A and B are shown apart, each in its own frame.
Chain A
Amino acid sequence: MLAIVSMATFAIFFLVPRLAGATAEGMASRYVGRTATEETAKLAAERLGFNDPLIVQYGRYVKGIVAGAEYDYGAGVEQCPAPCLGYSFITRQPVFPDLMNRLPVTLSLAIGAALIWVLLGVGIGVLSALRRGTVFDRFAMIVALAGVSLPIFFTGLISLQLFAYGNPFNWAAQGGYYVTIEDSPARWAYGLLLPWITLAFLFAATYARLTRAGMLETMNEDYIRTARAKGLVERKVIVKHGLRGALTPIITIFGLDFGLLIGGAVLTETAYSLNGLGKYAIDAITNQDLPKVMGVTLLAALFVILANLIVDLLYAVVDPRVRLT
């Protein structure tokens, strides 16, 4: 899986420009500055290894991850220890420490938002399903549908305008405000409040719709009737029997969503100028800095895989019908 992702990234970066007619020198000239002569471009292509066959370049990359690598950028040989994701073509900094620096930002964003959206989305979904057809249900579903239809980069802009830049309020932090949780948990939360809420709103809407549909379906199952027939309190029927059954598909989607989100909440981070993995990816792509892009996509894919693994384990906890062999 990781191998496929890394190969695909590599292919996008090397094969597509080749197919479109770029040369090794042409590609390398991007990384040596504006005043590049043909010779410096040639040297750079040689140094970055663009002249080797693709498979050799890829092999070198994989070897770096497993065993570390040595790089020579003209200023002496540098060591890059074991999970070596290469050096940036432009800043010449190793990629891996960079990624680790950015990870807490994205992680804070994702975890905070996930907490809000799961509680809110599932809660509203259950209530809606139980009070199907009431004013509450109608209203909640209309809001949820609106939520699904709003792009985050628009809600982000508007929320910043309304609540951070003083038109009319300035309660929340402005774009780009981030304090690490170790420095001050209160300011950390203050800075992330708006991104959390907007991001959570988007997802809560989807989850509310899914939960409602799931609950409506499970509450018609035979085992719910059995539970009621044996005299269980309605509350217990709903939480222990109904919700458990309805949660399975939601956990699946949560795994995917959350995994993708830690890999880089590209749009949210761009809208709020947060320096997380998503912003890192965008900057790297804008600069066509392959090692950075490779690093960030690999990390993102890793998170998706981990999240899916955890989801599979969670199934057994939530749904008594699933047995791990």
Chain B
Amino acid sequence: MTAPLDVPESASHAAPEAVAAGAGRTAIQGRSLGQIAWMRLKRDKIAMTGAGIIVFLVLVAICAPIIVKLFGHPPLEFHREMIDQETQIPKDRFGGIGWDFLFGVEPVWGRDIFSRIVYGARISLLIAFLATLLSVGIGTVLGVTAGYFGGWVDTVISRAMDVFLAFPLLVFAIALAGVVPDQAFGLSGDTLRVSLLIFIIGFFNWPYIGRIIRGQTLSLREREFVDAARSLGARGPYIIVRELLPNLMAPVLIYATLLIPTNILFEAALSFLGVGVRPPTPTWGGMLADAARIYTVPHFAIFPGLAIFITVLAFNLFGDGLRDALDPRGNR
């Protein structure tokens, strides 16, 4: 195969999109289609809005300490002077929203909701990204293995996927997150909870992506270029790594983007149910759970709820756009 005549200029602009374009180039027929995919994505205003929000959120999560220093108060600091001691709700109107407390303060404790949202983004995004990486890793490896080798290997892996899909996953995840003590596996505190959640969420979600990859591998395996590689003497591992995986990059990327929002919701649900990262560390789900106990101050639920909603929506918008751009059948 000859080298592409022109490397797409866009390759240097943004890493994930560039990878997508590169994958599209090999996945769809011919090199120019990759550029077309990137062009399509760039023209899709909704998807680019989603991407913009994602970049913004990631920056917020990374710069959380700086942002909080500039615009807020430490997330664990109590401000009882903001709270009416009799009713336990904030003294000022609108739950204490103002220049000092951008999103107001919590009832009872008077912690700064803005800083807690900002720090919550860290936990949420970190867990969602790494859990997705884990799912995609397991799903791709097992999916390709099942699809390529077939036979009993395929039977075993496919059965395992069926079993996973029939599991009452949420109940299992809750049970698993609930039984692990506060100190285990040489870790403790937030580190333990975060790695535990990454493991649980990632581990329970792999069959979805595994199935898709297996299906794609099954059809790719019969294509001429695989036959060609085999007739030239290439063996299994080489074919998988050099011929199949590059062609699978497009679906992997699409489903990874669409898995992230699911995982954000999963983490929020676990935190909401009280088996996520333990308080007082701020999480969006945990903040909603606190809000559920105090009905008289609605704004207390609105901000974490909106934070989850906007984040998930942004990933969904971007993922949809990415699919439209990369999927050759998606010509609207």
Which stretch, B16-24, B97-105, B230-238, B267-275, touches the partner chain A? B267-275
Q: Mark A150-173, 1 if CB is under 8 A from B, else 0.
A: 110110011011000101000000
Q: Mark A196-226, 1 if CB is under 8 A from B, else 0.
A: 0000000000000000000000000000000
Which stretch, A15-23, A70-78, A103-111, A313-321, touches the partner chain B? A15-23
Which stretch, A39-47, A180-188, A265-273, touches the partner chain B? A265-273
Cα distance, A19 to B174, chains bound together (Å) = 18
| Contacts A263-B171, A281-B171, A297-B168; A165 near B185 (Cβ below 8 A) | no
Cβ contact within 8 Å between A9 and B175 = yes
Cβ contact within 8 Å between B172 and A297 = yes
Nearest-CB residue, chain B, relative to A282: B273
B153 interfacial by beta-carbon distance below 8 Å: no
A13 interfacial by beta-carbon distance below 8 Å: yes
Contacts of A251 in B (CB 8 A): none
Cβ contact within 8 Å between B274 and A286 = yes
Cβ contact within 8 Å between A161 and B168 = no
A145 interfacial by beta-carbon distance below 8 Å: yes
Which stretch, A49-57, A89-97, A120-128, A298-306, touches the partner chain B? A298-306
Cβ contact within 8 Å between B313 and A145 = yes
Across the interface, A288 reaches (CB within 8 A) one of B176, B178, B312, namely B178
Contacts of B128 in A (CB 8 A): none
**What is the total number of residues of chain A having a CB less than 8 Å from a CB of chain B?**
52
B142 interfacial by beta-carbon distance below 8 Å: no
Q: Which chain A residues numbered 1 to 42 have a C-beta less than 8 Å away from chain B?
A: 1, 4-5, 8-9, 12-13, 16-17, 19-22
B298 interfacial by beta-carbon distance below 8 Å: yes
A149 interfacial by beta-carbon distance below 8 Å: yes
Cβ contact within 8 Å between B184 and A161 = no
Nearest-CB residue, chain A, relative to B166: A304
> A125 → chain B, closest Cβ, in Å?
15
Using a Cβ cutoff of 8 Å, how many contacts connect chains A and B? 139
Cα distance, A4 to B269, chains bound together (Å) = 25
> A210 → chain B, closest Cβ, in Å?
13
> B140 → chain A, closest Cβ, in Å?
22
Cβ contact within 8 Å between B288 and A157 = yes
Cβ contact within 8 Å between B168 and A260 = yes
Q: Which chain A residues numbered 118 to 150 have a C-beta less than 8 Å away from chain B?
A: 132-133, 145-146, 148-150
Cβ contact within 8 Å between A285 and B178 = yes
Across the interface, A145 reaches (CB within 8 A) one of B171, B308, B320, namely B320
Across the interface, B261 reaches (CB within 8 A) one of A133, A149, A157, A267, namely A149
> A187 → chain B, closest Cβ, in Å?
22
Cα distance, A264 to B178, chains bound together (Å) = 17
A88 interfacial by beta-carbon distance below 8 Å: no
Cβ contact within 8 Å between A154 and B175 = no
B181 interfacial by beta-carbon distance below 8 Å: yes
Nearest-CB residue, chain A, relative to B174: A285
Contacts of A157 in B (CB 8 A): 288, 291-292, 301, 305
A to B CB contacts below 8 Å, 21 in the list = A5-B166, A8-B167, A17-B180, A19-B185, A21-B181, A21-B184, A145-B313, A146-B309, A149-B312, A154-B308, A161-B301, A167-B298, A260-B168, A263-B171, A267-B269, A270-B273, A285-B175, A297-B168, A300-B171, A301-B166, A305-B166
Q: 4 other contacts beyond A12-B176, A17-B179, A288-B178, with CB at 8 A cut-off?
A: A16-B179, A150-B309, A161-B301, A300-B171
Give the B-binding residues of A (Cβ under 8 A): 1, 4-5, 8-9, 12-13, 16-17, 19-22, 132-133, 145-146, 148-151, 153-154, 157-158, 160-161, 165, 167, 256, 259-260, 263-264, 266-267, 270-271, 278, 281-282, 285-286, 288, 293, 296-297, 300-301, 304-305, 308
